[in-house]
Every structure is written in C-alpha cells, then in structure tokens.
Amino acid sequence: MGLFGFFKSQFTEVIEWTDQIANTMVYRFPVQNNEIKMGAKLTVRESQVPISVNEGEIADVFGPGRHLFYTQNMSILTKLKSWKYGFNSPFKAEVYFVNSKQFINQKWGTSNPIMMRDAEFGVIRLRGYGIYSYRVSNPLVFLKELLGTIASYDTSSIIGSIIKQIVDFFWSTCNNRSNSSTYRR
C-alpha cells in the first residue's frame, strides 16, 4: 500500500456497534481523532439510537437501517483542501450509540426496615424488595443531561439513583398510609 492508500485508510469507513455486555446503556464509537470518512457507512440495529455530535453540538439522530455520512453543502475550498485525502475528506464527529432496549429484572430493596406506628400493633418494621425494568425513552435528553462526554455508560452508573428513588417512594407511601385514618381503629 502506497502513501495515498495509507492516508485513505486512516479514516473510519464503517460505524456499527454490537453490544457485547448486556448492561451497556451508551457507547461512544472509537474514532481516531474523531475523523469519519465522507460517505462512511453507519449500521443501526433496532434497539439502538445513534447520535452524531459535531464540535460539541448534536448534529443528527439516526433510526434503524444503513446510513451514509456526508455533507451536502461542502464548499469548493473544503473540496480543494481534501486533496491529501484523495478527495474523500473526513469530518470530525463523535457517534454515541444509545441502547433503547429494556433493562429487565433489576432488583431493589430497603437496606434498613422502615419503622411505622400502628394503632393496633404498635411499632412495626417493614421491608420492601422487588424487581423493576427501565429503558432510555429520550436519548437526546439522556445524552445531554447524564452522559456528557463520557465514552460509555452502563447500568451500574445509574442503578443507585433509581433504587434511591424507588425506596424513597416506598418509604413515603408507607409513611402516608400509617398516618391516614383508614389504618387506625
């Protein structure tokens, strides 16, 4: 391979992601220097929402299928500057794959019993546990609000926050029930 072939091969031509670990929520596709070849192919599976970010701003959101990366408004100057890449000018971008599948069978539980006062039984100790499922319903908000510029995000990063919300709701519900007149005799 000559020098021209070397430069041409330095830019990403195929962008796709297959989740090797069942708990990955967001994955940033690794691209050398964020340079994606013009016309690069993007393969999107049913449970994925790829989001391209260009210069820190969300550029596009893709649905399932095959897509090509290109810019329709390439200036003549950009085309002339691209000679060193064989006129296959790269553009700088990051591609984040947001997993839109359900994350099922997630366990929760109270670490300590919830103390409640009952008119008939006095002080009682309640514990709660169960399973829940969740998914990312708005990939753009998830990317902006939680991810930032992190390369990957998995379920372990968010589980603590979700469990806290569930336990707080459980505690609040139990506390409201113990204070209501329907449970007093």
Looking at residue 177, its pLDDT comes to 67
Radius of gyration of the chain from Cα atoms? 25
Give residue 175's pLDDT band: very low, low, confident or very high (50, 70, 90): confident
Looking at residue 74, its pLDDT comes to 33
Looking at residue 37, its pLDDT comes to 75
Q: Which amino acid is at 169?
A: F
Tally of CB atoms within 10 A around 152: 14
> In this model, does residue 53 exceed pLDDT 90?
no
CA dist 180 → 84, 115, 116, 118, 175 (Å): 76, 15, 12, 10, 9
State the number of CA atoms in the 13 A half-sphere of 140 facing the CB: 6
Looking at residue 77, its pLDDT comes to 34
> In this model, does residue 63 exceed pLDDT 90?
yes
Q: Is 82 exposed, middle or buried (0-12, 13-18, 19+ CB in 10 A)?
A: middle
Mean of the per-residue pLDDT values of the chain: 77
pLDDT in tens, 19-46: 878 888 999 998 776 677 777 889 999 9
Q: Where exactly are the structural domains of the chain? A: 3-99, 103-183
Percent of the chain with pLDDT over 90: 22
Give residue 183's pLDDT band: very low, low, confident or very high (50, 70, 90): very low
> In this model, does residue 115 exceed pLDDT 50?
yes
Looking at residue 185, its pLDDT comes to 31
Q: Which of 43-57, 82-96, 165-179 has the lowest mean pLDDT?
A: 82-96
How large is the average pLDDT for residues 40-69? 88
Question: How far is the C-alpha of 166 from the C-alpha of 129, rounded, in Å?
Answer: 10
